[in-house]
Amino acid sequence: MFTGIITDLGRVRGIRANGDTRIEIETRYDTETLDIGASVCCSGACMTVIDKGAGWFAVSASGETLARTTLGRWEEGTAVNLERSLKAGDELGGHIVSGHVDGVARVLERTPEGDSLRLVLEAPTSLRRYIAAKGSVTIDGVSLTVNEVNGPRFGINLIPHTQEVTTLGEAAPKDAVNLEIDMLARYVARLLEKE
């Protein structure tokens, strides 16, 4: 489990396809404290650490992960939002995030709004009913509040801090981003389904 509060901005240092795809990520984390088998949220996708060294760790992405997230578009140098998994007693500063990407959304608009940056995104058809004004979403691993919903479109604001410490400050129209809907919205919708 995660909170959607990014604690490091990593960078892809290498990718090697051999069965599954090995992705090595540079990080400022103290990798001595990062166990093999630990979970790290990598731009919204919960990934398992399979190898590590000073200033880097590696994960293995299956074909399913590459097909359903933006990880298949990564290349050397791609910036990656990173968050280590929660420990009992940690502050829950964002919202409950599983790291299970539900789909890929598209950035439609990018507009400065005061010191903030306003992004309008389009959700995949299957996920639209889960997105509500003033509800939570996770975009590339970042916990955000939805400002408004207009059909398939929804808007978010990025304060200057979020622009500086995540990849979203560089988000531009046509970019694809990982989208995780709010876990509570998913379960409420399931409970309301007719049998």
Phi, psi (degrees; rounded to nearest 5) at 127: -110, -5
In a domain, 117, yes or no: yes
With a threshold of 0.85, does the pTM exceed it? yes
pLDDT score, position 1: 86
Which of these three, 57, 84, 111, is where a domain ends?
84
Residue 1 lies in a domain: no
CATH number, domain with residue 172: 2.40.30.20
Helices (H), 21-140: 63-68
Return the pLDDT at 155.
98
Give tens-digit pLDDT for 42-59: 999 999 999 999 999 999
In this structure, the chain runs to a length of: 195
- CB count in 10 Å sphere of residue 187: 10
Express each pLDDT in 154-191 by its tens digit.
Answer: 999 999 999 999 999 999 999 999 999 988 877 777 77
Last residue of a domain, one of 49, 84, 119: 84
Instruction: Please state the domain count of the chain.
Output: 2
- How far CA 28 is from CA of 96, 168, 172, in Å, comes to 24, 19, 26
Radius of gyration of the chain (CA): 16
Find the mean pLDDT for residues 25-35: 97
Is residue 94 situated within a structural domain? Answer: no
Q: Is residue 64 part of a domain?
A: yes
Question: What's the pLDDT tens digit per position in 85-140?
Answer: 988 777 777 788 889 999 999 999 999 999 999 999 999 999 999 999 999 999 99
Tell me which residue range forms the domain holding 70.
8-84
